[in-house]
Amino acid sequence: MDPFALTAILLTVAALLAFVNRRFFGLPSTIGVMAMALFASLGMVGIGVVSPGFIEQVRQLLEEVNFSDALLDVMLAFLLFAGALHVKLEDLAGQKWIIAALATVGVVISTAAVGALSKLFLDSIGHPVDWLPCLLFGALIAPTDPIAVLGILKSAGVKKSLETKVTGESLFNDGVGVVVFVALLGFATADHATAPGAIALLFVKEVLGALVLGAVFGTFTYWLMRQIDDYLVEVLLSLALCVGVYSLAGALHSSGPLAVVVAGLLIGNQGRRSAMSSLTVQRLDDFWELCDELLNVLLFVLIGLEVLVIPWSHEPFLFGLVAIPMTLLVRFVAVGGTVKLLSAGRTFDPGTVRILTWGGLRGGISIALALILREGLGETADIFLTATYVVVVFSIVVQGLTVGRLAARIDRQTAEIAAAAR
């Protein structure tokens, strides 16, 4: 099927599901369309029992959509840039230490811990797997997903300081997670370029190189915007910055996501303050909000439909169910330890550890990396692909729908304690 027809089908499905959700259920758009796409997929599985040819046609259609390429090469740049535009640098600066710790050391510790626990569990059920695939699973599931976090937390009613911590971590930790994942995948596939020196160079190119690229081209675009007052041209410049810096970072083997985030932060803060008129700010926000909403809906529809191409069997599904509390426990320990270490020099809001743990959502990036893992390791990776999907669905639907309630309950408890103290 040609790309235009395939895109037309997916957009039509996404639009219909978004309408049904808004008209009858009123769930947050990302959660609602993903849940309905998931149920629709399960319905197709039921139809497939009666008509195997039908389900095979649907699977073939979905397999034409390379999920990893669609997300990592197309959607991710727009979604991250749109999200970064609305994050204030002052808020990030106020939470810089905990964000930096969770986005770096936290990812590495979580990778090791989840990998070790996965190894122990799989060995215990008579499904032994080597250490490296287990660590790769830890690397792809450890980082919180910026798309899921930005799409859900903004309507969850979480305190601004806590929202900044979770959002800031998710915007930056994927760069570290990808470096760890790529290095481990190189070892697993016998790529000798992953010696310690090569890993250090990879980190510098991926992370520091991306930060420099984003800063340089973000500053240059900001300078161009200051020379004119035409919202059409300025919106076009922001679009060119987004796709240009992401593509250039990929060509230079740096982290496109990190480069886009830095560029978006510069335009959303310095550019908004001193390079744009109020009309340009409004038009820029409208344009990127529309891009964000459209691509989010399309992405989460794809996540729901991916259930049809995930390899399902008893042991992978059982591992996925166990991986849910496993990843939550590891994150709780990593977040709690970080907060404990940093609490000597500052105070944290009540419930910080619980909100950061429950609000650390996994999403499409984890699935995309799991699919890449399948390409590198073949059928060995199927158990981790299934487990990743189970964790992501739970994270988005259950955690995404309840993080606001958790925040409200923590606020009530804090108010009651304060009243009792008086």
Helices (H), 125-159: 131-141, 146-153
What is the dihedral angle through the alpha carbons of 15, 16, 17, 18, rounded to the nearest 10 degrees?
Answer: 50
Q: Which domains does the chain show, CATH number per domain? A: 3-421 (1.20.1530.20)
CA distances from 134 to 88, 189, 307, 319 (A): 37, 14, 22, 12
User: What integer pLDDT is reported at residue 241 of this predicted model?
Assistant: 97
Residue 156, SS3 per DSSP: coil
d(CA 207, CA 411): 37
Higher pLDDT, 177 or 324: 324
User: What integer pLDDT is reported at residue 190 of this predicted model?
Assistant: 62
User: What integer pLDDT is reported at residue 238 of this predicted model?
Assistant: 97
| 104 neighbors 174 (Cβ within 8 angstroms) | no
**Which stretch, 20-24, 167-171, 273-277, 321-325, has highest mean pLDDT?**
321-325
| 163 neighbors 93 (Cβ within 8 angstroms) | no
pLDDT in tens, 343-380: 876 778 888 899 899 988 998 889 999 988 887 777 77
Residue 409 phi, psi dihedral angles, 5° rounding: -65, -40
- Indicate the pTM of the whole model: 0.90
At 177, is the pLDDT very low, low, confident or very high (cuts 50, 70, 90)? Answer: confident
**Residue from 312, 311, 295 nearest 363 by CA:** 295
> Which pair of structure tokens corresponds to residue 345?
């020099």
> Which pair of structure tokens corresponds to residue 326?
């496993």
| Count of positions (residues) in the chain | 422
Least confident segment among 38-42, 215-219, 225-229, 246-250: 38-42
pLDDT in tens, 27-38: 888 888 999 999
pLDDT in tens, 288-326: 999 988 998 999 999 998 888 888 888 899 999 999 999
